[in-house]
Chains A and B, each alone.
Chain A
């Protein structure tokens, strides 16, 4: 049983072994200046062929594909091969690693091959095979003006094709155009190729400038310039001569490439960087010029903002003017007059703003500031334009708000206050920190005073009415007043005895004179009593009056204290007012 299984396995293996995928080399030992051909062949078509990396070699040709079908005695055979031409890069033993392919869902691999590279060998010169010599004496070189520029500092790359005197180039085709990532680039067109003589590695060569490019790095750091590769059609002498004795040439193709170059770009210094720096690098002049500064409203004015000089002119924005709201500014017209020689962009860029004033008056366009980095001076520079005064002579007033409505025909509107007013010549200065009147005590007292006066008025009127109404009281008050009038002199003398009593007597006499219409000579006590009684005075009062007169006489000769005087005075007042009341004239 086991045997059968084994046999079965064997037979399958035999079936599988029919797919072949081999690698073969033209030679296993070669000089460093020789080339090597590697073929990967298979007898079934497959997919996903992946060649090895060919470490230590440079692929100079291939992959070339060859497919052949053949029928022989009714048997089909298929053969497909990929071939590469390799050029060793170093001496020693190199290994060509496995290549792989997928055939009918299975992956096949070749065996690695060892190749020994020896020193360069003297090539047999085959005069009939110019192919060997092809590529000699042709070099493509990229020359870079500066390898550590600042950002936005122009650098130039010049591609030169050196051709030795023995070779000649018929034509060329660009295989890979370099892409200048992270650069702003400008190709300088070369209208006519000019062959010049120069030296390459100390030998005489002819050269042609193929291409010139101005680059402005846009990023700091290490930047790669991709190589330029050319496919060149070369003519080489075969050594044979034709019938007429002229040299026969054989032509062939060759690829040359200028190696990749890297440059390190420096960022602009941070120290002293102006706030409004917009990325301009170079050497510039900055100007702001108005087309006119005196105009009528509705007329337009062009404001030209221009930067001229050398530098990255197309790579920054011009500063924008700031104008008062009374001037209407429109979007600018941008113009560039820049040409780019090898030294970098130079010329002028301008922004032209159209400004239309709306109102009469004097308006100021603020000074504009433009700053740039001068890489030759290694410093930032700032140019400030002058301020511009725009004088609008005619037009609606700022005060009238809207532009005026057309006035009636033939009439002219006289608008007051349409001029800027002159200063005032008189003033009344007051202290800055004044206290508010509202809320102050003064305010409240003034506010409430009238209300407080009202009850006073009411009371006063009430009192007056009461006084007017009280008749008896009035009389008493009147007589009291009279008595006091008579006694006023005595009152003054209150204190000195003699004078007081003299005054008192005099007062009593005066009273009698006034009331009874009698003379001093008639003033005997009996006479007085009779008269008073006849006038219907109360006997008590009369008695008191007489007593008072008596006491006045006595008092002159007797000592009396202030107390007694006061007593007598009071008595006099009562008696006189009593009499006054009782006596009817």
Chain B
């Protein structure tokens, strides 16, 4: 009985979340963006998320000309679904509304190749790939073991090692990609104007000034200060409250 109740609760919650999402969509269609934001935020508060939800929320913020929350939610959506072209397009629209223009220093060489390779899949997908390879290995082994024709046996035997190698690469890639993911701490500047200091002190001189919506990467933390790096590799300290981390 209790289980049934839980299931019922779970189901209603999902339905409730869905309905709030749809209500938000309705408000968006009627150009009541503030209502839409409230609905979407409510879904988030109930502990549910999806790339589409973040995308719609970001669109609503964009329509209200709130750059920082818009970019923040587009980036959130991209974290869940990095290949969504709609999100990428709208993110670019939002980025054009920001005040800071920061160059992106392209990475080059071997490390870039590795990074690109790792970025092909999310680390969870790499993990599933490893599991798949492991199952394939079993099938190849069975094929090898029960095959009666020498040529087929050889093929299966060879295939076994190929798949095994693939599995190890997948595991390594999954772990490396996870480390990369965990170490990378992107954040969005929320303060309208945020001075970036050369030292983590309020009295320190301003190294440069950032405006809302700019994406930064947190490298270090100290009390209320975060050491950030921009895409053009400049670094500085910013107050914690001026930015909002994506992860």
Q: Which residues of A contact B (CB under 8 A)?
A: 322-326, 359, 361-364, 366, 387, 389, 397-399, 417, 419-433, 436-439, 443, 446-451, 453-454, 457-458, 461
Contacts and interface: CB of A to CB of B under 8 A. Distances in A.
Given A361-B93, A398-B93, A438-B127, A450 B52 contact: no
Interface stretch (B111-119, B132-140, B147-155): B132-140
B145 interface: yes
Nearest to A427: B52
Contacts of A427: 18, 21, 50-53
Contact of B131 (A419, A422, A443): A443
A447 B89 contact: no
Given A325-B96, A437-B127, A446-B131, 14 more contacts: A324-B97, A362-B65, A420-B90, A421-B59, A422-B59, A423-B60, A427-B50, A429-B48, A430-B49, A431-B48, A431-B49, A433-B47, A437-B128, A449-B134
Contacts of A322: 99, 211
Contacts of B237: none
B81 to A, nearest CB: 10
Given A322-B211, A399-B92, A453-B138, A429 B86 contact: no
A326 B174 CA distance: 38
A443 B44 CA distance: 28
Given A429-B17, A433-B47, A324 B53 contact: no
Interface in B34-75: 43-44, 47-53, 55-56, 59-60, 62, 65
A326 to B, nearest CB: 4
Contact of B101 (A325, A429, A436): A325
A423 B167 CA distance: 39
A387 B101 CA distance: 21
A424 B55 contact: yes
Contacts of A423: 25, 28, 52, 55-56, 59-60
17 contacts: A325-B99, A419-B89, A420-B90, A420-B93, A421-B90, A423-B52, A423-B55, A423-B59, A423-B60, A424-B86, A425-B25, A426-B52, A429-B53, A432-B44, A436-B178, A438-B127, A454-B138
Nearest to A450: B138
The contact size tier of chain B is 35 or more
B96 A326 contact: yes
B86 A421 contact: yes
B96 A451 contact: no
A135 to B, nearest CB: 62
Q: Output the residue of A326, A427, A447, A454 with the most chain B CB within 10 A.
A: A427
A421 B47 contact: no
Nearest to A326: B96
Nearest to A327: B96
A430 B50 contact: yes
Nearest to A416: B85
Nearest to B132: A446
A439 B90 CA distance: 34
B14 interface: yes
A324 to B, nearest CB: 5
B176 to A, nearest CB: 11
